[in-house]
Amino acid sequence: MVKAVVLLSGGLDSATVLAIARQQGYECYALSVSYGQRHGAELAAAKNLARSLGATAHKIIQVDLSTFGGSALIDKEREIPTDGVTPGIPSTYVPARNTIMLSIALAWAEVLGSGDIFIGVNAIDYSGYPDCRPEYIEAFETMANVATKAGIEGTRLAIHAPLMNLSKAEIIKRGGVLGVDYSMTVSCYQADDAGLACGVCDSCRLRRAGFESADVPDVTRYHAGFRQTPAS
Amino acid sequence: MVKAVVLLSGGLDSATVLAIARQQGYECYALSVSYGQRHGAELAAAKNLARSLGATAHKIIQVDLSTFGGSALIDKEREIPTDGVTPGIPSTYVPARNTIMLSIALAWAEVLGSGDIFIGVNAIDYSGYPDCRPEYIEAFETMANVATKAGIEGTRLAIHAPLMNLSKAEIIKRGGVLGVDYSMTVSCYQADDAGLACGVCDSCRLRRAGFESADVPDVTRYHAGFRQTPAS
């Protein structure tokens, strides 16, 4: 079997990516990065998802980006916006996060002798982060092929972003077919320790709208204080 | 003053780079990465160098790559080669190390509003690592400009590698002019806790040959067991 490193945050998108990579026949090495995010529920979800979706191994690597600050997602002094998705780059953007996560995945891939890295970025129903765009993934792939032994030995390393051009609804339908249990995933920017979602942050809103638009029951476990109303 | 993030390992090259960036008028934010290297003497040296060379701030970020293994530099079960520099990629190569370090520097730079990152890679007197070549630095710079707000807002981010085309002797002469005290730097792959160098690993050999060729007294603090003979 061909080995792949799959970035697994514990959210809806990366769980779907792991299921896709497994379906494509890869032996999957799931990688989560603890970068100083506000809550650990996402990482706990990642651990369970790695097991239930058939990853061969799962590692959690720590890189504490909260020492730099610069994002509401890692700085507890800053509020998570809950008024709806707005144009531009939001305060939840974590500078260089995907680059750091892909770089760590690159290290593991090279050690494993793997030429395939999967990441669940999406440029349709997303928050406007620069490192979720197709041109970014292409540029990272080009760099990765020069950075490693692959570039010298003539082998080829690919960054797979199978969700890039899917809507959130399409992602949810795809995962449903592949048997992903979305009640195990945590997308909320401010989930509590039990993984209960707020329902109103950008990530919750995009996810809710996805279930609505897919016409699939939303199995997300919400906080008791959240009264579900249409997302859009 | 214009801010720059300077990667500072504690070795000879990166100390020289910090001195060069300061001379060029940058306000320097020194960044060290503790990636699971065999010894901490390098990081202790980095801390002292940041202070003595006038960095505005110094941060040490932990990313434990030893969990992946794959390099003699982070795996204590493997021997550091001491028989001399040979062609090809040696066992001390740490997969994706420079990519991970530059990615973390990118995060800090973006938070600081800095468009300048300095790294002490060198493609002349080096160990054949793929991520020390000019084509790698160019590819990383291209990727970094797409990865961040810079790419969306039209500002420009530069990766500076001022040692790229210098010989080790030229680096040492340059640092000498800038007042770098090389006795404070630790380049050895297997330095002891006091920072004393083995004298025979590839890094020590390249450094010794540099002092010799520059005709500058070698101020490196060697282990008592090492009897200095010509490096070449």
pLDDT in tens, B134-163: 999 999 999 999 998 887 787 889 999 999
pLDDT value, residue A225: 85
- pLDDT at residue B39 is higher than 70: yes
Q: Does B37 touch chain A (CB under 8 A)?
A: no
Contact A139 B135 (CB under 8 A): no
For residue B149, the Cα-to-chain-centroid distance in whole angstroms is: 27
Kindly identify which residue of chain A lies nearest to residue B97, measuring between CA atoms.
Answer: A107
Domains and CATH numbers, chain B: 3-214 (3.40.50.620)
**A21 CB-side CA count, 13 A:** 34
Q: Identify the CA nearest to B122 among candidates B79, B70, B165.
A: B165
d(CA A71, CA A91) in angstroms, rounded, equals 6
Which residues does chain A have within 8 Å of residue B96's beta carbon, measured at their own beta carbons? 103-104, 106-107, 110, 147-148
Inter-chain CB proximity B147 and A96 less than 8 Å = yes
**In the prediction, which pLDDT does B231 show?**
60
Q: What is the SS3 assignment for B70-106?
A: CCCCCCCCCCCCCCCCCCCCCCCCCCCHHHHHHHHHH
**Quick one: pLDDT at residue B126?**
74
pLDDT mean over B207-211: 95
CA distance B147 to chain A (A): 5
pLDDT for the residue numbered B227: 75
What SS3 class is residue B22? helix
- DSSP letters for B151-189: HHHT---EEE-TTTT--HHHHHHHHHHTT--GGG----T
Total residue count of chain B as it appears in this document: 232
As a whole number of Å, the end-to-end CA separation of chain A is 43
Q: Above 70 in pLDDT, residue B99?
A: yes
pLDDT at B232: 55
Low-confidence ranges of chain A (pLDDT < 70): 228-232
Q: Does A69 touch chain B (CB under 8 A)?
A: yes
Radius of gyration of chain A (CA): 17
ipTM for the predicted complex = 0.92
A148 shares contact with chain B (CB less than 8 Å): yes
Closest residue in A to B29 (Cα–Cα)? A68
Which segments of B are annotated as binding site? 8-18, 188, 198, 201, 204
Highest mean pLDDT among A29-38, B79-88, B175-184: B175-184
A46 sits in which H/E element: helix A41-52
Query: Please, what is the average pLDDT of chain B?
Result: 92
Residue B147 CA to residue B85 CA, distance in Å, equals: 36
The predicted pLDDT at position B101 comes to: 97
* Nearest residue to B100 (alpha-carbon basis) of A8, A117, A99, A142: A99
**Is 90 exceeded by the pLDDT of residue B3?**
yes
Q: Do A68 and B107 touch (CB under 8 A)?
A: yes
A–B CB contacts, 8 A cutoff, strictly below: 139
Gap from B71 CA to chain A (nearest CA, Å)? 9
pLDDT at A37 (0 to 100): 80
pLDDT mean over B19-31: 98
Q: What is the CA radius of gyration of chain B?
A: 17
Q: Name the token pair of A231.
A: 């997302």
CB pair distance less than 8 Å for A151 and B140: no
For residue A132, which of A148, A121, A120 has the smallest C-alpha distance?
A121
- Cβ neighbour number for residue A208 with a 10 Å cutoff: 23
From residue A174, give the alpha-carbon distance in Å to each of A50, A160, A179, A180, A219: 18, 16, 9, 9, 15
Q: Which residue has the tokens 């040959």?
A: B209
B229: helix, strand or coil? coil
Mean pLDDT of B22-26: 98
Distance of residue B184 Cα from the nearest chain A Cα, in angstroms: 27
pLDDT tens-digit map of A13-34: 999 999 999 999 999 999 999 9
Determine the residue of chain B that is closest to A95 in CA distance.
B107
Written as six digits, the tokens of B187 are 């380049």
Asked whether A31 and A104 are in contact (CB, 8 A), the reply is: yes
pLDDT band for position B124 (50/70/90)? confident
Sort out which chain B residues have CB atoms less than 8 A from A133's CB and list them: 146
Q: What residue type is assigned to position B119 of the chain?
A: I
Q: Does B69 touch chain A (CB under 8 A)?
A: yes
What are the chain A neighbours of B65 within 8 Å (beta carbons)? Answer: 104, 107
**Does the CB of B140 have a partner CB in chain A at under 8 Å?**
yes
Q: In what order do the strands lie in the sheet with A57-62?
A: A57-62, A27-34, A3-7, A116-118, A158-160
Cβ atoms within 10 Å of B86's Cβ, excluding its own: 10
Look at residue B77 and tell me whether its pLDDT is greater than 90.
no
Per-residue confidence (pLDDT) for residue A53, from 0 to 100: 98
Q: How far apart are CA A210 and CA B115, in angstroms?
A: 37
For residues B4-41, b (16+ Cβ closer than 10 Å) or e, as one string?
Answer: bbbbbbbbbbbbbbbbbbbeeebbbbbbbbebbbbbeb
DSSP summary character for residue B210: H
pLDDT of residue B171: 97
User: Which residues from A are below 8 Å from B133, CB to CB?
Assistant: 146
